[in-house]
Structure 1
Amino acid sequence: MGNSSSLMLRDDEIDEIVRETEFNRNQIVRLYSRFLSLDKKGQGFLSRDDFLNVPELAVNPLGDRIIDAFFTLAGENEQQLNFRQFVRILAHFQPINRSKKNALNGRNEKLKFAFQMYDLNKNGYITREEFKVILNSMVGANITAEQEKMSIRFLN
């Protein structure tokens, strides 16, 4: 599954991903199809550039942060995502299933994922400067001095 020679998912791979992520079989097959369509070079993995070609991420003010969070969660200095990593990260976007304790889909993992989007320098803290960068990327230069002052007060 991790290289270009694997064109199809095996049933046992799908079953394992279902257990890990709580996606159903049909969702996994659709995600695999999407993964293959994003993998334009047929390498069996996605790069940051592949994500930048997704129109919804390219125009999203937090697109770079979302992409960076994907690769941060995949592993230290990771520059490629295989399908298994891709689908495990997408599991964070599902609603929390309170009837099961799934580590990928739990509240703590979702918070960790969101935090990593804002911790720009990856030091484990969100500084005022990082907060201002994110705030400006979300609302642009339209932020008033009063709004900036309120946001800084929020951080104190």
Structure 2
Amino acid sequence: MGNAPLTLTQYDIEEVQEHCNKLFNQQEIVSLYQRFCQLDRTAKGFISSDEFISVPEFAMNPLAQRLLKMVDGLNFKDFAAFLSAFSAKASIE
């Protein structure tokens, strides 16, 4: 999953589910992938900090500059893992 493929295979979905401790179901992963592809405007397989900051809600966050250091260069699997921390199903830890 280095470069973003056009579609996710069942194997890709299961791999991401495992990487995210099964916090996302298959449909959620497909939705996250669609959003990832929208953000990855140049289809290079990762999202740059410039692409992240283009999201208005992210740009308005008072912690945006700190978060940018964490998210710059995330591939899809790591993008999903990063967002899993914000899931209602995630543990407090």
Structure 1 or 2: larger helix share? Answer: 1
Q: Size of the alignment, in residue pairs? A: 91
Following the alignment from structure 1 to structure 2, what is the Cα–Cα distance between the partners of residues 40 and 51?
Answer: 11
1:84-99 aligned at under 5 Å gives the runs 84-96=77-89
Could you say which residue in structure 2 is the equivalent of 1:11? 10
Could you say which residue in structure 1 is the equivalent of 2:56? 55
**Is there any run of 5+ residues in structure 1 with no aligned partner, and where?**
72-78, 97-104, 109-156
1:66 Cα deviation after fit? 2.5
Could you say which residue in structure 2 is the equivalent of 1:27? 28
Could you say which residue in structure 2 is the equivalent of 1:135? none
Following the alignment from structure 1 to structure 2, what is the Cα–Cα distance between the partners of residues 45 and 23?
Answer: 20
Following the alignment from structure 1 to structure 2, what is the Cα–Cα distance between the partners of residues 92 and 48?
Answer: 19
Following the alignment from structure 2 to structure 1, what is the Cα–Cα distance between the partners of residues 7 and 36?
Answer: 12
Computing the radius of gyration from Cα coordinates, the structure with the larger value is: 1
Among residues 41, 61, 74, which one is paired with 1:81 in the alignment?
74
Percent sequence identity over aligned pairs: 40
CA contact (8 A) 1:57 1:64 kept: no
The reply to whether residue 107 of structure 1 matches residue 92 of structure 2 is yes
**Is there any run of 5+ residues in structure 2 with no aligned partner, and where?**
none
Could you say which residue in structure 2 is the equivalent of 1:112? none
Larger relative contact order (CA 8 Å, sep ≥ 6): 2
Following the alignment from structure 1 to structure 2, what is the Cα–Cα distance between the partners of residues 16 and 3?
Answer: 15
Following the alignment from structure 1 to structure 2, what is the Cα–Cα distance between the partners of residues 57 and 92?
Answer: 16
Following the alignment from structure 2 to structure 1, what is the Cα–Cα distance between the partners of residues 28 and 52?
Answer: 20
Following the alignment from structure 1 to structure 2, what is the Cα–Cα distance between the partners of residues 80 and 64?
Answer: 14
Could you say which residue in structure 2 is the equivalent of 1:41? 42
CA contact (8 A) 1:36 1:42 kept: yes
CA RMSD of the aligned region, Å? 1.6
TM-score w.r.t. structure 2 length?
0.85
